Amino acid sequence: MHSNDNTPDAPAPLYSQVEFDDRGNFHYQGDLHQPGETLAATAARIDQHLRTSFPETRFTITTRKYSGGRKIIAELLDTPEDLTGRDTQEAFTVKVKDQIERFGFTRSNVYQDSHNCAFFCEVRIGQPYWVALAARRGSGGNVEPLVPLAAFKKRLKPGDQLKLISAPGWHRSIGSTRIVKAVRSKDIVFEGPIYLDLPRAAQFACDGNLVRIAIGSEDRPDAHLLYQWIPGKAA
């Protein structure tokens, strides 16, 4: 294990730079850790720190409490970096995790199966990142975003129809037309009943006729559903 005081002016090692010693001990003390701080307060400080450390990158920070401890999750929404390669993803995740771990501490021993930490940390590459990457690449299936998601939910009415005209090849419903039964905050209920989950605003585009819902992933950043919006007959 690297010592934190090799030289007086040496910066403290980052989490990824600390090693287990020959007895299986892993000791890490973050320089930004504040004992007794609430999880919400720590998450707020981490959020601000990541904004400063990665000014061109956007994250959303969430927290969880459970019987085994506490957890802070940083989900990547967008960054200029191309993270399609597995090694690049790993390097990015380590870089972000190192900054988050500065707000905590870890004391563990691999042989004694003991682990004590301020919080567990997880860095995720969220679906919005793959959507943003596809947009930067100028991928096909683009729809002019003239109708925001909030306005679409207000304008879509029972009796309207959505026809799925394009989707990944594995999708079984290409060409099908669904009649809207209800529009709720998080989904659309079709007759059947069949449900369509509504995406985040950044994954949605509508020009008044076509509706594009991005469902991109690491393997297919441009994957999306493309619907034709067919208004119902006026009463």
* pLDDT higher at 131 or 27: 27
Mean pLDDT calculated for residue range 186-206: 92
> Nearest CA to 70 among 34, 121, 16?
121
For the stretch 75-97, pLDDT in tens is 999 999 989 888 899 999 999 99
User: In this structure, what token pair is assigned to residue 156?
Assistant: 């879509």
* Fold classification of 15-125 (topology level): GMP Synthetase; Chain A, domain 3 (3.30.300)
Query: Which band of pLDDT confidence, cut at 50, 70 and 90, is reported for residue 229?
Result: very high
pLDDT exceeds 80 at position 30: yes
pLDDT of 223 reads: 85
pLDDT exceeds 70 at position 6: no
Average pLDDT over the chain, rounded to an integer: 89
Sequence-separated (6 or more) residues with CB below 8 Å from residue 109 = 23, 24, 25, 26
Which of 10-14, 24-28, 42-46, 157-161 is the least confident region? 10-14
pLDDT exceeds 50 at position 2: no
Contact 95, 88 (CB under 8 A): no
Query: Which band of pLDDT confidence, cut at 50, 70 and 90, is reported for residue 232?
Result: confident
pTM value? Answer: 0.69
For the stretch 36-77, pLDDT in tens is 999 999 999 999 999 999 999 999 999 999 888 999 999 999
pLDDT of 9 reads: 57
Domain spans of the chain, in order of start: 15-125, 139-230
Give CA–CA dist 172/169, Å, rounded. 8
